[in-house]
């Protein structure tokens, strides 16, 4: 037996017996329209919400907000990108991308957050290394709060999960709010049904 195997064997034998998790009730959430609650929670965090009737609207929005010469990495079929995004994309290759486009699996009304796993990001750096993040979100895919998120099967089965609420921000340098300090400078939620 190697030293490593002996060490791991000692750890395994010292584990406490497993016990069932407590049954946590779902606490009541505020009443009201989920989309309105989502927008109200996201706006103070620096994110914005816009409507779109189709993918052409999304392409037009990107061109008008970020310019026709913006470097765009899109993980959404039908949204034009200037950079290919696939499972083989080297994460660091997105370092000079202006706009990343992804579709969130669902949103959380309580916090104004959108949820991503490795499936939505395709390349995990798209959510952090690009300058601006455009997120397509189906309004019918909103859940009330974080308690509902933790009970979802897709949350439990994902290799990793990220809840994103607004652009990156910090206010610890002289109390001045700076957006994009450690991540994306802007977050735009585009309300668009999955089938459009």
Residues in the chain: 196
Distance (Å, whole) CA 115 – CA 117: 7
Token pair, residue 80, equals 């034009």
| Segments making up each domain of the chain, as ranges | 33-191
The DSSP output letter for 13 is H
3-state secondary structure (DSSP) of residue 39: helix
How is 149-174 classified by DSSP, letter by letter? HHT-HHHHH-S-EEEE-SS-EE--ST
Percent of the chain with pLDDT over 70: 100
The mean per-residue pLDDT over the stretch 4-27 comes to 89
Q: What CATH number was assigned to the domain covering residues 33-191?
A: 3.40.50.10420
Higher pLDDT, 114 or 22: 114
The DSSP output letter for 99 is E
Per-residue pLDDT tens for 123-166? Answer: 999 999 999 999 999 999 999 999 999 889 998 899 989 999 98
The mean per-residue pLDDT over the stretch 88-107 comes to 95
Would you say residue 178 has pLDDT above 90?
no
Give the pTM.
0.85
* H/E stretch holding 103: strand 99-103
């Amino acid at each position: 037996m190697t030293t490593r195997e002996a060490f791991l064997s000692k750890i395994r034998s010292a584990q406490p017996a497993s016990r069932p998790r407590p049954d946590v009730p779902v606490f009541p959430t505020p009443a009201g329209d989920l989309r309105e609650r989502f927008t109200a929670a996201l706006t103070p965090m620096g994110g914005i919400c816009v409507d779109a009737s189709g993918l052409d609207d999304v392409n037009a929005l990107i061109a008008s907000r970020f310019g026709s010469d913006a470097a765009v990495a899109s993980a959404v079929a039908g949204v034009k990108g200037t950079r290919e995004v696939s499972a083989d994309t080297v994460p660091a290759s997105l370092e000079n991308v202006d706009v990343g486009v992804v579709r969130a699996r669902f949103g959380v009304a309580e916090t104004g957050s959108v949820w991503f796993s490795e499936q939505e990001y395709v390349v995990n750096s798209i959510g952090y290394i690009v300058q601006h993040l455009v997120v397509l979100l189906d309004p019918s895919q909103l859940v009330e709060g974080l308690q509902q998120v933790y009970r979802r099967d897709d949350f439990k089965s994902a290799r990793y999960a990220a809840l994103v609420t607004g652009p990156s921000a910090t206010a610890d340098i002289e109390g001045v709010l700076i957006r994009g300090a450690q991540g994306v400078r802007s977050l735009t939620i585009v309300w668009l049904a999955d089938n459009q």
